[in-house]
Structure 1
Amino acid sequence: MILKQNQYNQGVGKYKLLSSTSGVGSIITTKLGSYVLISDINKWKFIRWANSKIEIIRTNNSDDKKVYELSKSEVLNRGLEFIDDLRFIKFVKSEKNLENLVCLVGIPHMSLNESFNTPNWRNHPIRTALKNTGEQFEGVSSHYMINGNHFPKWFKNSKGELKKIGEWFSIWERECRRYPETLKLDYFAPPRDANHFLRVINSKNEDRNTIRIREYKTLEQTNLVLICPNGHLSDIPWPNYLRWKTEKHLRLRPDDDKGENLLSSESVGPCCSNPKLKWTESKTKSEGYGSIYLECSSCGLGTNSDKDKPKINLEGINSLEPYCIGQKTWEIDIDNPSIIPYESCYVRNDNKNGREKMKIALVTANNVYYANGFSSLFIPMHLAENKPKEIIEALDILEKKYDKYLARTGMSREEYWNHKFDFDDFLIDNDFNLNEHEDFFRKKLELEFLNISNTDEIHDKHEEYRWQEYRCFSTHSSLPDIEINKGLRFKDINLPSELTDFFKKIQKVEELKVTNVQFDFTRVKPKERIVLNGEVKESSSGQNIFSIDSKELFTLPANEALGEGLFFEFSNGQIEKWISKNRTHLDLRFENYFKELPNPNSQGLSSKMKIYNNKYKHFLIHSFSHMIMRELEFSCGYPTASLKERLYISTNHEKLMSGVLIYTAEGSEGSMGGLVSQGEPEKILDIIRKGLERSQNCSSDPLCWESEGQGVFDLNLAACFSCSLVAETACEEMNLGLDRRVLIDEEFGFLKDI
C-alpha cells in the first residue's frame, strides 16, 4: 500500500485534460479506485495567478497590443507556455462572449515520480524559471497541477457503515491526535477507516529516512450520482432516500411519486436527526440493486424490526427523478468544501419554465459527462482575414474608438469617419510602420471600416473559421519562411497525371500547430450544434468551465500540439460532373438521408443535418479521409489513433469547401516527417490506389457492401469496423456519414477509374 502524503496525485495526460473525457466537471477514476471531480479553472492556481497578473497589466495599460505582449512576457518568465494564436483568441471571445479575454496559457506538463508519487520538480523548467526571477520555487509544484475533490462524498467501511467523507475525516483527526508520532492527517489519502487499525509498518520518507507508520483499512466510495441535463451534479442524499423508500413501501406516498422532492429537506428530509447508515450487499449480487440494502441504526428504518420499518433495498433506484437544485459541485472551494455553489435550474426551452429533473447514473457511465471543446489550426491573422497585418491592427484600434462613440451617441460609421476621425493623429498616436503610401492605406482602412457593418452578422461562425483555414491552403502554394508565419509551413506537390482530374491540389504540411480549449460541458445528453438554412441552434447551453464573472476572465487554459499533415483539395468541377452523371444512382442510394429534413426531435440531429446540408459531398470526402488514414497505417506505421482528420466540406456557394487535412497531433508521434514523406507524388498515388484496392474487400461482405444503413442512427452505408471506421479520436464526425462505395463502386464510384 502506498502511504505517502502525495499518494493521491493522479497522472492524467495533459492532452486529455481538455478532451471529451477529462475536462472540468468530469469524474475520473484514480489508480487507487476512487473517484475525483475535476474543479473549475479558477481553482487551478497557475490560471488564478495568470488571471490576476493580466488584470494588473490591463489596469495599467489601455493599448491591447501592449497588454498582449506584456502578458506574454509574464507568462513565459514564469516558465509557462504562452499559446500565440490571435485568430483563435478572437474567435473564443466572440463564441463564448468573453469580451476581456487576452490570451491562452498552456497546461504544464507535470510528470510524477514513481517512488513517491510526487512531481518531478527538481529539474522542472517552471522551477528553473521561478528561481531565475527570484520567486519562491521550492514547495510550489502543486500550484501547477490540476485541482479536484472527492465525488461522490459517501464512503463505507468494511462493516458497511456509510458516512460522508467529512465525518470519516473527523474520526481520522481524533486518531491522529492519539498517535502523533506515527500518524498524520496527510495519510488519510485515500480515505481510511480510523476505527480499523491493521498494523504498524516501516517505510521511508522523501529524504530516505526510515519512519514508522500506522496502517488502516481503506474506505470504499459509492458509485451512484444524480445528473441533470443542464450539467448539474448532486450526491444522493441517502438518509432522505431511506425515508422516501420506506414511505413508498408503506404506501404513504403515491405510486407515481418518483422522488421529485428527494433533494428537499422540507418535503422528504432525512430518516432521523442523527442518521447512522449501514450499507449491506448480498454475496451473490444476482439481483442487481435489489441485493443492496440500506438501514439506519439510529431510528431503525430499514432494519425490519417491525412492520413500520421494513427492509429497504435499492431496487428501482434508476426510476428516481428528483427535481434539480442546481448544484455546481465542481466549483466547490477546496478550503471550504461544505458550501456547494448552486443556481436555479429549469427545463431548457420550456415555455412553462418547469423545473428540470435529475437522473441516477453510475459515475463511470458515458452520460455523466460530455465536454464541448474546440480545436484551432494556427493560421496567421493576415492570411486568415486576407488582409495586411497593418490593416488588421488599425481596424482593431479603430473599432474600439468607434464603439465608445456608438455607445454614447449612436453615431453611424459614416458620420464617425467623416466628422470625428482624424487619420493623421491616428497614425501618429499608434506609431504604424506603413509599407505603402499613406493615401493608399487610408483608402483601404476606410473601405474595410465602412464595410464591417455588412459582414458583422455571420450566421455560422464555425464554418467561417474553417473557411479561413481552407482558403489559406487553397490560395497559397507555399508560405514564405518569415517570423509572422512561424507555426505553419506547407507546399504543393506535383500532382501525378492520374490525379489531376480529381484533385485541385495536394499539399505536404510540414509544420502545423493545433490548439484545443474546452468551452463548456453537459450531462445526460451531448450538446449538439444544429445548422438549418444557415442558422445555428444549440440543443443545450452547457456549464462554463470557469466560476468567475465572464468580464473578469482574462485567460483560458489550452493545449497546443505540433504536427504535420497532408492536405487534399478535391476538384469542385469534377464533383459536380460526378453528381450530374450519376444522379440516378446517387439519389436512389442516399434517398433516406436527403429526401426530407431530419426530424427535429430525433437523436443525432447535428450529424444528420451535416449530412443533409452537404449531401453526397459529405460521404465522398469523409469516406476518402478514412480510407487514407487506414492506408497510412500500412504505408508509414501511424496507427489511426495517432492521426486526426479536419474536414472542409460546405455547399455554401460563398464558402464552397471540398477538402480534408489529415494530420498528427496531441502528443502522438508528432512532426517526425513520417507523414509528410508519404506526400511525394509517386507515394501518394500508390497510397490512394492501394487504399481503393483495400476498400473493395471487407470481412463483413456482402452484408457490409449491400447495407442499407448501419452504425449509430444508421448513418453509414457500406462502412463498418472491418473496412472504414477509425479510432474515435481520429474522426471528427463520430465515425458517421461513411460509404466506401461512393469511392469504388463500378457504376458510380468517384475514384473508380484510378
Structure 2
Amino acid sequence: MKKGPIGKVSRSQTVTTYGPGSLYELRTFKGGAIANSVIVAGTHLWPVDEMQEVSEPTLAASLGVDRFLMPPSAEDDDNPVPVPAYRFPEWLECNECHRLGHVNIRFDEEIDAPPKCSANDCNGYGVPTRLVVACHPGDGDASGNSPGHIDDFPWTWWAHSQSGETTCKSPEIYLEAKGKKAGISGLVVQCKAKDCGASRSLEGVFNKDAIAWSCKGYRPWLGSRNDDGTCEPCERPVRTLLRGASNIYFPVSASAISIPPLSSKLIQEIVVRGRPILNSLKQDHADGKAIDREMYINLFQNGIPGFRRYERDQIGMAMDILLENAAAGGQKLTEAQQKDRERQALTHDSDEDQLEDDFENKVVEDYDLQKAHLLKDYLELLAKVHRLREVRALRGFQRIESSPVADSYSQACAPLSKFPEDWLPAIETRGEGIYFELSKDRLAEWETDEAVLTHIAPLVANYLRYCEDRGIEDIDMDLVAPGYLMIHTLSHLLIKQLSLECGYSSASIRERLFYGRSEGEQWCGVLLYTASGSADGTLGGLVRQGEPENLDKMMASSLENARWCSSDPLCIESAGQGVDALNLAACHACSLVSETSCEQRNLLLDRALLVGTPDNPEIGFFHDYLHGDNH
C-alpha cells in the first residue's frame, strides 16, 4: 500500500459511493490519465481515534453495534485524516508499449509519479487495467449471501485459453488493438514470450460463462492477498466487469429518523460526549445498585464542557430516558418496527415544550385540508416536518446487482471489516420534510379491484422469479402490493416536481415509505425530506410546499406529467423493464430519480397505477380526479 494521499471524498460519499470495498479513481499525472485506482480499505484500518461519534441508540442496537462513528473529514487541508486504501486492480498496463504486469515485476514504483514501465527503451507508465472479475451471489449458490469477492482479470489465462495451455513458462502479456472492431471487441490479449505467441480477443469477455474458473474468494479491501482472513473459500463462477462500472459497488445502508425522546440534543450530547459517565451509570443500573442521581448529575454538569447550560432536572430526565432505553435491551427493532415508531411521531404534533429537539412536526388541520381540491378526497393526513435528523449507517455492500430491500437492517451484504467491530461508519443529516398518508377507504377499495390485481400480475411474477433465483425464502409480498407500488411511484413524481418548486436538487430529496397493516388498520404514506449534512437542508422551502394549496397544485402537476412519457407507448404498455423486469410503466424519462433518493434503487415502480393505461384508465388510483367533471 503506497503511502500518501491520493484524493478527497466527502463524508457522505464515504458511507455511500466510496465506502470500504469500493473502487476509487484519481485522474492525475500526464495530462489527466488515471494514475491511481484503489480499493477503500476495511474499517479495521480506519483512524478510529480521529473520528467523531454520532448518537442514535435505537438504530445502533438494531444493527448490533454500540456506536456510530463519522468518517474523517477531508475539509481540513492543514491536518487531513486519511482513510487507507490498497492499489486495485494490481495489474497495470503501460500506456506506451501496452505491456501488462504488476508493480515491482513489470513496473517500478515511483515517488509522486505513476509506476514506470521497466521494459527496455520504453518511457511509458502504468495505468490500471480496465477489467476485473467478481462472483455473483446468485450463481451456483442459493444462500442469498453477498460476499463481495473481487479480483484481477486473469490476463495470462485469457491469452492462453484457446491455445490448449493455461500459461507458458515465462509469459509476457500485452493488450493491443487489432482489426477493425471498435470498443472492447477490438482488443487482443497476446503473450509475446519466446516460442509462445498465444492470443485471444476480448470479444465475448462479458458473457456470463466467459471465465472458466471459479472465484478465489479474494477480499482485497481487507488486506493483501497473503494476509490471513483476506481470502475465503468460494466456488462460484466469476463474471467480468469494467473497473469503472456502476455495478461494481452497491452500498447497503440502514437509517433511522430521530424521534422523541431520543431526538433531544441533550441526550445526543450525553451519548457522544459523556459516554464514560453514561457507561458507569448503565453498569450501576444493570448491577441493581442504588443510583446516586445527584452525583451523576454533578458529573455530567461539571465533567462535560457546556453542560451547565442545562437545568439539573433536564439532565435527570435525560438519564431516566437513557436508562429506560438500556433496560429495554437497547430496543432492537426491525426496520418495519422502527418505521412504525416514526409514523407515530409523524402523525402527531410534537411537544412544543420540548427544548432543543431535532424533531419538530405539525399535523395540518383537517379543516385546512378540506380546502384543497385534490387532497381533500385522497389524503387521510398531512404533516409538515419543520425539523428532522436522520442517521444513516453503512452496513456493507453488494456487487453486480442490488436487490429490492424488505428490511435494510438485516439485508445480506459483504463485511466492512476483517474483524467484528463495535461500531459502524455513519453520517447524520438534518433537514425538513412533508409527510402524508392516502385515504384508507379509497385505498382498501382500490387495492382489491380485480383489474388492478390483473395489471400488476406480470410484476408479481417477475418478483417471485427474482426471489426464487436467489434463494430468498422470506418473501415480503408487501413490496409488490398495489398500494406500495403506487405510493412509491407517486413519491418519485413528487420528488421531480419538488425540485422545480422549492429550489432543492432532486438528489437532495429522499423518500421514506410507510406501508403496512396492524390490528385491522392499514396505512400508505410517504415522508419526503431533505438530507443534507449542512444548513442547506433546512431552508424552509420544502415545508412551504407542504401547505395544502401548494401540495395540491404540485400533486396535480405531477399526475398530469405522469399521463404521458416520451417513451410511450412502449413504457405505458411494458410488462416488465429495468433490472430483472421489476418495473412496469416506469423509465428514466418519466419516473426514475437519483438512486440516493430512492429506498428501492429505482425498482418496483408503475405510473399506470396512478393514472391508468389508455386501454384501462380505471386502474389508476387517481382516476376519479383525472377524469372527473371538476378536473
Asked whether the two chains share a fold, i.e. TM above 0.5, the reply is: yes
- The alpha-carbon distance between structure 1 residues 240 and 592, as it changes in their structure 2 partners (threshold 3 A), is closer
Residues 382 and 280 of structure 1: is their aligned pair in 2 closer, same or farther, counting only changes over 3 Å?
closer
Residues 751 and 699 of structure 1, relative CA distance in 2, 3 Å threshold:
same
Alignment of 1:327-342 (within 5 A): 327-332=218-223, 339-342=226-229
Once the two structures are superposed, residues 341-365 of structure 1 have per-residue CA deviations (whole angstroms, 9 ceiling, x without a partner) of 5456445xxxxxxx33333322123
Who is 2:251 aligned against?
371
- 1:87 is aligned to 2:1: no
Matches within 5 A, 1:662-681: 662-666=528-532, 669-681=536-548
From 159, 181, 189, the equivalent of 1:293 is 189
Matched, 1:302 2:196: yes
Q: Structure 1 stretches of 5 or more lacking a match?
A: 51-74, 76-80, 111-119, 122-126, 128-139, 173-184, 199-215, 253-267, 304-309, 348-354, 405-420
For residue 283 of structure 1, report the CA deviation from its aligned partner. 6.3
Question: Matches of 1:28 and 1:448 in 2, distance apart?
Answer: 40
Partner-residue secondary structure (3-state), 1:625 = helix
Give, in whole Å, the separation in 2 of the partners of 1:614 and 1:311: 49
Contact 1:234 1:327 in 2 (8 A): yes
Structure 1 counterpart of 2:163, one-letter code: H
- The structure having more radius of gyration, on CA atoms, is 1
Distance 1:311 1:719, change over 3 A: closer
Match 1:102 to one of 67, 73, 76: 67
Deviations 1:275-295 (A, max 9, x none): 544444326455955741322
Give the equivalent residue in structure 2 for 1:48: 48
Contact 1:502 1:571 in 2 (8 A): yes
In structure 2, give the amino acid aligned to 1:326: G
Structure 1 segment 385-404 matched on structure 2, within 5 A: none
Contact 2:585–2:608 (CA<8 Å) still a contact in 1?
Answer: yes
CA contact (8 A) 1:504 1:570 kept: yes
* Alpha-carbon distance in structure 2 between the residues aligned to 1:500 and 1:275: 74
Match of 1:151 among 55, 65, 89: 89
Partner Cα distance (2:14, 2:459) in 1: 36
Tell me the C-alpha RMSD between the 2 structures. 4.6
Q: Cα deviation per residue 1:415-446 (whole Å; 9 max; x = unaligned)?
A: xxxxxx57x568799779889x99xx99x999
The aligned counterpart of 1:738 is 605
Tell me how far 1:713 sits from its aligned partner: 3.9
Given candidates 685, 698, 701, the residue that maps to 2:565 is 698
Q: Is the 8 A contact 2:68 2:393 kept in 1?
A: no
Structure 2 matches for 1:216-235, cutoff 5 A? 217-229=124-136, 230-235=147-152
- Determine the structure 1 residue equivalent to 2:301: none
Partner of 2:111: 186
Q: Which position in structure 1 is the counterpart of 2:21?
A: 25
- Confirm whether residue 496 of structure 1 aligns to residue 369 of structure 2: yes
Residues 283, 14 of structure 1: alpha-carbon distance in 2 compared, 3 angstrom cutoff: farther
* TM-score normalised per structure 1: 0.64
Question: Is 1:16 the counterpart of 2:13 in the alignment?
Answer: yes
Aligned to 1:53: none
Check the 8 A contact 1:44/1:144 in 2, yes or no: no
Cα distance between partner residues in 1 of 2:490 and 2:528: 11
| SS, match of residue 12 in structure 2 | coil
Report matched runs for 1:238-257 at 5 Å: 238-239=155-156, 242=159, 245=161, 249-250=163-164
Aligned equivalents of 1:603, 1:193: Cα separation in 2? 45
Q: Which digits, 9 at most, give the CA deviation of each residue in 1:536-560, with x for residues without a partner? A: 985x5x321122x31xx34433222
Aligned-partner Cα distance in 2 for 1:689–1:613: 26
Which residue does the alignment assign to 1:415?
none
Q: Is the 8 A contact 2:494 2:558 kept in 1?
A: yes
Q: Where does structure 2 lack aligned partners over 5 or more consecutive residues? A: 28-32, 137-146, 299-311, 626-631
Alignment of 1:66-465 (within 5 A): 81-92=52-63, 94=64, 98=65, 101-110=66-75, 121=77, 140-141=79-80, 143-145=81-83, 147-167=85-105, 170=108, 185-188=110-113, 190-193=114-117, 217-229=124-136, 230-236=147-153, 238-239=155-156, 242=159, 245=161, 249-250=163-164, 271-272=168-169, 275-282=171-178, 284-286=180-182, 288-289=184-185, 291-297=187-193, 300-303=194-197, 310-311=198-199, 319-332=210-223, 339-342=226-229, 345-346=232-233, 355-382=235-262, 424=290, 461-465=334-338
Contact 1:152–1:223 at 8 Å: present in 2 too? no
The structure-2 alpha-carbon separation of the partners of 1:720 and 1:322, relative to structure 1 and needing over 3 Å to count, comes to: closer
Partner of 1:587: 453
**Distance in 1 between residues matched to 2:533 and 2:88, nearest whole Å:** 29
Amino acid in structure 2 at the alignment position of 1:186: I
Question: 1:688 is matched with which residue?
Answer: 555
**Contact 2:382-2:436 within 8 A present in 1 as well:** yes
Query: Partners of 2:190 and 2:619 in 1: how far apart?
Result: 64
Q: Given residue 249 of structure 1, which amino acid in structure 2 is its aligned partner? A: S
Write the distance in 2 (CA, Å) between the matches of 1:643 and 1:586.
Answer: 30
- Which one-letter code corresponds to 1:726 in the other structure? V
Q: Is the 8 A contact 1:607 1:733 kept in 2?
A: no
Paired residues of 1:715 and 1:736 also in contact (CA < 8 A): yes
